[in-house]
């Protein structure tokens, strides 16, 4: 594994807009941050020689909106007991999380160059003991939601307003541990809990439909006592509106079905199961970079060739 | 050396009154909870089998019953710890360890969450309920997991002491809480020191190493051996992980052999841990006693006797190790 | 534990009526068989000094109808590859299963006297290796349904008409493994599979409502792709009609919610959570016997005082 | 004695070409499936990671994908066995063993269902993916379970041979299927005999016992030791349970000490099994090599080397055991 050289870490630390920013500026800002995160993540995976780029790109818009505008946590409050918690249950997209955390200042951007390198604290799945901003060591699927329920219970015991967000894969919901946790969440009326499902309809080897269909997912979640909302998981405005508005029903936890595409928006990756953990070769890497480049909001903001 | 061992009132440890360690468990948990608001209980519909009814009355919000869902139970405990609480998970050891093993590995040990896992009614305590309810594999299973202290207290005093230590110490701990009646082995002021063996009886001829419900049986075996002029050292080894290697090595060097006896499998548990230490530091002859198979129907006591863990059986193994 | 003496095993081997029997005779026969099974099971638990009488009595009518009129399995065909399979997922009611198996000739009735005795093959949870008619070693909750799905898949692979029935507790459905199995069952369109839920609304320590509510259970099962039916789980006629009529929707597995009472029909046990695994003392034992006696269809059939 | 060991073409085993044992696995599974309609595969969305795409094409109905649901996967396999099938469960060893351990215990081993559990990419094969994906505890976990044969093949030949034996034999079996490249150790006609060690190299000075991906490293260590005049016996120990106690005892008696080396924890696995045999039958000096902790980021090879399992590291442990 060759690894990234430090000067390939080109990403600016973009940070959050002031919460008083107009919605349209906020949305434009988030879109640009997400684009930058994708560029950086693409480099991580290409140079690191491993990673889960399909799931990364599926989730990056969600991660961006959470860290960029929703979560009440910052590098300064990363150990504060009253911080909001975000748990990445689909731990295989650690690359996307590390890049997001770096973008918002939780990690030195330079450190991204150590992704998957010997003795790096950035291995293929996040580690809360080593990486600031990580709340649980995920990777085996179906662990995040129970942990999130536990945290939401702790907030309730503390009569605290801190919130818990957890991002799961859709294939991941085939794990029964999630349904145990969902039953408990609604039993305990944990309305500070928001489950976001990255509903890209692909899992590791096939579509969810072919493997173990989840539909009707909304009916399942509703029958398990959640208030259910569906959003376009690549639309920063929709995500911002929905994730800022939770809970929708007092006393009920929220289940956000975020419709996404694995590998979005790269033409040859999008909605293609092969890109679950494929690593782009030199040519694919360049094409993906070019496609992301073309999405830049204006010429000046474009990354130096 | 034997400072905190209690002298039997009856002449023999085997004749002392017996106690269910779950009672010490729930009393201590309530004491801890009164003193520290961070302490909470987490159960899987196991309020009654963990004897937590009174705790539930005293702290209704602080006993979290997730239902019959062990994976969720351990994950929830990890999340509670992340929120600053100190959860004591109280569930039948068989289900806690077998059903939630990956959660124990990933959410608790690897994530280094401050969770106390309490395996109730371990070993063959469920007797006639059969192997699905026996938790003989738990020690081998948990000992393989990094960053997890594994404690097997022998009596109510040690159970309480281990819990107080666990509550006061940051980090993942597993404590076995016995149900089968055991006599009191320790003086009331006994303090639990993790990773430290306690010499309950000194001797140079042979060493008996045990813990949990079998420890008093080892002591009773030593009494019997003494009558034949065999002076057995009895080491209480409450911490199976990390092991007190020094005490084991001293026993290997200073006595003619070692017998381990535990309410667990013959492979990978306390006996396995001692064997691994012995071969690496001071090879010595051993007998490893435990439950070697899916046990047939029978009470806990019946099964321990059947597998050579009556006082007589342990004494016999000691003679074997000495070639007598 | 004192144990039952062999002459306390008073139960006649009642067996099945001919399938050409009139429905009303069939129902009356099943009612009487169930009553006899309860009498015998009460003795097992009282003399054995352990057992789960609440759950036993909750399930006995279902077991009786299955073995007495529905399952295509008999002592002669207990190893036949094409037998119907019944899996007792709520393995803690082994006493009820053993008694039922003895009633229908799978076990010598005398052997019931060894329940829980040292080295008996009848321990507190069923063992397929030792006890004829048992299909899986259950006891830990949430195991039976996945096994049943596996069996139903084997039948489908064999293009066989053999069926699979599994009885679960309701508290048991809090285990996520069940929901994994249900997803797979509907994905594979296993209409030879019938899940029967003993819906007594009690678990070990409390009501399901207080612990981890299952309602709306019908909506949950439907959202997981099952065809759902509700029955009175103590009404032999209703059970007979429903269990004989499965599947209700071709291509869909069936989910039968059998409404029951734990400890039914004993006045002081019924719907009382304390009787999950309490053992009746001498007085309670006598009263329960008397109550079962009073339910005898006519004076002549009454058990000798 | 060394009949079925293949002579390296290159002079040293370390220079031989390397193979991913999953290829032998899928080829053998397809052969078995062609010959016996009872053979089926069961996976947890692990078609690709188990390299079963071709199998799926050849036998579309006979590869059952239950989705990402390991508990269900093992329960389903038990049910398939009940229906007369011979299921080969193929899933990443970490998830198969950690997530479905109670199903392995109750539905497979205790129920004695004819299920073959195949732990793919075990040990630290997933390297940089980290400890959640490392399956170093599996041997200790499974060895504690009664009525389960545990096999750790060392190369493609042994992987195929063990599978053929498992398919032909009624009863629960676990087979580890390595991903990390290994050279061929056995001659093509090698037959797998369960519970039997294979002497790959004879020697009287010290014994190296190993299996899986570490076996060739032990052989390479023996080559190095031979150059210093130390004649190491190399025992291949594919069956971790039941262990070939006789071969271990002979090694303890006939050579100056034993080094075990495995892609697994240092406690409770092959090393633990050997230690338990040694102390009970013929105490001898040992070194137990394995992965002692939640490993830091690094490739499988990096980690094996780091924990003393390079050929040089194993040779060094052999010298230590001999006090040289
Ligand atoms: C318990 C467990 N089983 C299997 C895996 C292997 N695995 C990693 S990612 C993945 C697919 C996940 O699909 P999905 O949840 O839909 O995530 P996506 O990448 O599509 O966002 C699988 C099966 C795992 N990590 N954990
Ligand atoms: C995995 C597991 N966890 C806990 C238990 C302990 N236990 C035995 S019966 C029972 C309650 C079961 O309730 P339910 O499923 O409603 O059955 P019922 O007796 O009411 O029919 C519990 C918690 C168990 N047997 N298995
Ligand atoms: Mg997906
Ligand atoms: Mg119930």
Order of strands across the sheet with A227-232? A85-88, A164-169, A193-199, A254-259, A227-232
Contact B176, B153 (CB under 8 A): yes
Average pLDDT value for residue range A22-50: 95
Please name which of A79, A39, A22, A46 lies closest in space to residue A294, comparing C-alpha atoms. Answer: A39
pLDDT at position A1 is 41
Q: For the stretch A231-257, what's the b/e string if a residue is b when 16 or more beta carbons lie within 10 angstroms of its beta carbon?
A: bebbbbbbbbebbeebbbeeebbbbbb
pLDDT band at A275 (very low <50, low <70, confident <90, very high): very high
Whether the per-residue pLDDT at C304 is higher than 60: the answer is no
Q: What is the pLDDT of residues C194-203, one digit of tens each?
A: 999 999 999 9
Q: Which residues of chain D have pLDDT under 70?
A: 1-3
Q: What is the mean pLDDT of residues B167-178?
A: 98
Assess whether pLDDT exceeds 60 at residue A303. no
Q: How confident is the model at residue C18 (pLDDT cuts 50, 70, 90)?
A: confident
* Ligand 2: residue whose CA is nearest its atom 16: C171
Residue A100 has a pLDDT of 97
Q: What's the average model confidence in pLDDT over C36-45?
A: 96
Q: What percent of chain C has pLDDT over 70?
A: 93
Containing B295, the helix (H) or strand (E) segment is none
State pLDDT tens for residues C241-272: 999 999 999 999 999 999 999 999 999 999 99
**Chain D residues with CB-CB distance to B279 below 8 A:** 258, 275, 278-279, 283-286, 288
Question: What pLDDT is recorded for position C302?
Answer: 46
pLDDT band at C1 (very low <50, low <70, confident <90, very high): very low
The answer to whether A82 and A257 have CB atoms below 8 angstroms apart is no
Asked if A198 is an interface residue toward chain C (Cβ–Cβ < 8 A), one would say: no
What is the Cα–Cα distance from D270 to D279, expressed in whole angstroms? 14
- Average pLDDT of every residue of chain C: 94
Distance A110 CA to ligand 2 centre (A): 52
Read off the pLDDT of each residue in A25-48 and give the average, rounded to a whole number: 96
- Output the CA–CA distances (angstroms, integers) from residue B141 to B100, B265, C187, D138, D271, in the order listed: 11, 10, 34, 9, 15
Q: C171 and B45 in contact by Cβ < 8 A?
A: yes
- The single-letter DSSP state of residue A207 is B
Task: Please indicate if any CB of chain C lies within 8 Å of the CB of D147.
Answer: no
Helix (H, G, I), strand (E, B) or coil at A74: coil
How far from A123 is each of A131, D11, D32, D130, D193, CA to CA, in Å? Answer: 10, 37, 38, 6, 39
CB pairs under 8 A between C and D: 109
- Cα(C205) to centroid(ligand 2), Å: 9
Average pLDDT over residues B156-180: 98
pLDDT of residue C303: 47
The predicted-structure confidence for D214-251, as pLDDT tens digits, reads as follows: 999 999 999 999 999 999 999 999 999 999 999 999 99
Are B321 and B287 spatial neighbours (Cβ–Cβ below 8 Å)? yes
What are the residues whose beta carbon lies below 5 Å from ligand 4 (ion)? C 169-171, 200, 202
Identify from B74, B144, B249 which residue to disrupt to test chain D contact, counting D C-beta atoms within 10 A and taking the largest count: B144
The residue among A274, A62, A74 whose CA lies nearest residue A168 is A62
Predicted local distance difference test score (pLDDT) of residue B184: 97
Residue with tokens 């060591």: A137
Minimal-distance CA residue of chain D relative to B276: D275
D70 included as an active-site residue = yes
Which of A81, A129, A183 has its CB closest to that of B112?
A129
Q: Which of A147, A157, A183 sits opposite B107 (nearest CB)?
A: A147
- A133 has a chain D CB within 8 A of its CB: no
Q: What confidence score (pLDDT) does residue D49 get? A: 87
| pLDDT surpasses 60 at A7 | no
Reported as a single tens digit per residue, the pLDDT across C97-132 is 999 999 999 999 999 999 999 999 999 999 999 999
Which residue in chain C has the smallest CA separation from B68? Answer: C174
Nearest 5°: the CA angle A91, A96, A102 is 115
pLDDT at A15: 81
What does the alpha-carbon distance between residue C89 and residue C177 come to, in Å, rounded to a whole number?
12
pLDDT the model gives residue B2: 52
Give the span between the Cα atoms of A30 and A24, in whole angstroms: 10
> Is the pTM value of this prediction over 0.80?
yes
C15 in ligand 2 pocket by Cβ < 6 Å?
A: no
The tens digit of pLDDT for each residue in A90-134 reads 999 999 999 999 999 999 999 999 999 999 999 999 999 999 999
Q: Where is C40: in which H helix or E strand? A: helix C23-48
Closest CA to D118 of D91, D140, D99: D91
Question: Which residues pair with residue A227 across a beta bridge?
Answer: A254
Would you tell me how many other CB atoms lie within 10 Å of the CB of residue D32? Answer: 20
Residues 302-321 of chain D with CB under 8 A from chain A are: 302
Judge whether A267 is closer than 8 Å to chain C, CB to CB. no
Q: From ligand 2's centre to the CA of B52, what distance in Å?
A: 17
Percent of chain B with pLDDT over 90: 95
Contacts D65 to A, Cβ<8 Å: 205-206, 211-212
DSSP E strands, B44-195: 63-65, 86-92, 116-120, 149-151, 173-177
Listed by number, the residues of chain A in 182-241 with a beta carbon closer than 8 Å to a beta carbon of chain B are 183-184, 187
**What's chain C's length in residues?**
305
Average of per-residue pLDDT across A145-159: 98
What pLDDT does residue B7 have? 84
3-state class percentages of chain D: helix first, strand second, coil last, to nearest 5: 40, 20, 40
- Taking the C-alpha atoms of residue D222 and residue A70, their distance in angstroms, rounded to an integer, is 60
| Ligand 1: lining residues by beta carbon, under 6 Å | A 52, 54-55, 58, 90, 92, 139-142, 169-172, 198, 200, 202-204, 262, 276; D 44-45, 68, 70, 95, 99
Residue partners of B173: CB distance under 8 A and separation at least 6: B115, B116, B117, B148, B149, B151, B166
A118/D302 CB distance under 8 A: yes
Give yes or no for residue C4 having a pLDDT over 70.
no
In the prediction, which pLDDT does C298 show?
A: 74
Place of tokens 């209980």: B41
How far does CA A164 lie from the centroid of its chain?
A: 14
Residue pLDDT, tens place only, B259-291: 999 999 999 999 999 999 999 999 999 999 999
Residue B129 pLDDT: 97
- For C142, the closest chain A residue by CA position comes to A176
Q: Is C153 on the interface with D (CB under 8 A)?
A: yes
Residue B285 vs residues B232, B273, B274, D277: alpha-carbon distances, Å = 15, 14, 11, 10
Contact A255, A195 (CB under 8 A): yes
Q: CB of C287 closer than 6 A to ligand 2? A: no
What proportion of chain B, given as a percentage, has pLDDT over 70? 99
Q: What is the pLDDT, as a whole number, of residue B143?
A: 98
**Residue C5 confidence (pLDDT):** 62
Ligand 2 centroid–CA C171 distance in Å is 6
Nearest to B280 by CA among D292, A96, C160, C11: D292
Rounded to the nearest integer, the mean pLDDT of chain B is 97
Q: Is D114 on the interface with C (CB under 8 A)?
A: no
Interface residue A304 vs chain C (CB under 8 A): no
Expressed in angstroms and rounded, the spacing between residue D87 Cα and the centre of ligand 4 is 33
Q: Which of D70, D158, D223, D263 is catalytic?
A: D70
Tally the C-alpha atoms within 13 A of residue D30's C-alpha that lie toward its C-beta: 17
């Amino acid at each position: 594994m060759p690894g990234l050289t430090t000067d390939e870490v080109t990403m600016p630390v973009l940070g959050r807009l002031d919460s008083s920013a107009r919605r349209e500026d906020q949305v434009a800002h988030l879109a640009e941050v997400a684009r930058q995160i994708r560029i950086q993540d693409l480099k991580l995976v290409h140079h690191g020689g491993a990673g889960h780029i399909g799931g990364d790109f599926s989730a990056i818009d969600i991660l961006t909106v959470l860290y960029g505008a929703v979560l009440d946590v910052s590098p300064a409050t990363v150990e504060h007991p009253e911080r909001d918690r975000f748990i990445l249950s689909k731990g295989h997209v650690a690359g996307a999380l590390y890049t997001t955390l770096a973008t918002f200042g939780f990690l030195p951007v330079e450190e991204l160059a150590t992704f998957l390198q010997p003795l790096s604290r950035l291995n293929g799945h996040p580690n809360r003991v080593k990486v600031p901003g990580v709340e649980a060591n995920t990777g085996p699927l179906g662990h995040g939601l129970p942990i999130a329920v536990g945290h939401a219970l702790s907030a309730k015991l503390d009569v605290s307003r801190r919130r818990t967000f957890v991002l799961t894969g859709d294939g991941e919901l085939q794990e029964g541990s999630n349904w145990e946790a969902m039953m408990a969440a609604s039993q305990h009326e944990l309305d500070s809990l928001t489950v976001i499902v990255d509903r890209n309809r692909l899992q590791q080897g096939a579509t969810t439909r072919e493997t173990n269909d989840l539909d009707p997912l909304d009916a399942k979640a509703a029958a398990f006592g959640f208030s259910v909302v569906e959003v376009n998981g690549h639309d920063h405005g929709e995500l911002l509106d929905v994730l800022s508005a939770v809970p929708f029903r007092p006393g009920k936890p929220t289940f956000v079905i975020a419709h996404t595409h694995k590998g979005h928006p790269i033409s040859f990756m999008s909605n293609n199961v092969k890109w679950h953990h494929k690593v782009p070769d030199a040519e694919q890497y360049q094409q993906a970079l070019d496609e992301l480049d073309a999405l830049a909001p204006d010429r000046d903001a474009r990354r130096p060739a | 050396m034997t400072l905190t061992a209690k002298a039997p009132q009856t002449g023999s440890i085997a004749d002392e009154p017996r106690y269910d360690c779950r009672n010490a468990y729930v009393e201590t948990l309530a004491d801890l909870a009164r003193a520290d608001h961070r302490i909470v209980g987490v159960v899987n519909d196991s309020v009654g089998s963990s004897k937590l009814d009174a705790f539930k009355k005293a702290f209704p919000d602080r006993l979290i019953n997730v239902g019959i869902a062990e994976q969720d139970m351990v994950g929830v405990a990890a999340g509670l710890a992340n929120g600053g609480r100190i959860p004591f998970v109280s569930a039948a050891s068989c289900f806690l360890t077998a059903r939630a093993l990956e959660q124990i590995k990933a959410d608790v040990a690897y994530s280094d969450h401050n969770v106390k896992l309490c395996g109730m009614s371990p070993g063959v305590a469920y007797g006639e309920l059969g192997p699905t309810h026996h938790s003989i594999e738990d020690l081998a299973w948990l000992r393989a997991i990094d960053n997890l202290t594994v404690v097997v207290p022998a009596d109510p005093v040690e159970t309480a002491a281990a819990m107080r230590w666990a509550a006061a110490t940051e980090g993942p701990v597993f404590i076995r809480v016995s149900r089968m009646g055991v006599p009191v082995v320790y003086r009331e002021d006994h303090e639990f020191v993790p990773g430290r063996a306690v010499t309950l009886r000194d001797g140079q001829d042979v060493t008996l190493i045990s813990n949990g419900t079998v420890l008093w049986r080892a002591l009773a075996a030593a009494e019997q051996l003494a009558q034949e002029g065999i002076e057995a050292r009895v080491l209480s080894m409450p911490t199976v992980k990390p092991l007190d290697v020094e005490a084991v090595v001293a026993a290997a060097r200073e006595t003619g052999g070692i017998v381990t006896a535990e309410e667990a499998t013959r492979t990978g548990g306390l006996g396995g841990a001692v064997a691994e230490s012995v071969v690496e530091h001071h090879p010595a002859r051993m007998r490893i006693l435990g439950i070697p198979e899916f046990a047939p129907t029978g009470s806990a006591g019946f099964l321990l006797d059947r597998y050579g863990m009556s006082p007589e059986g342990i004494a016999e193994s000691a003679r074997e190790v000495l070639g007598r």
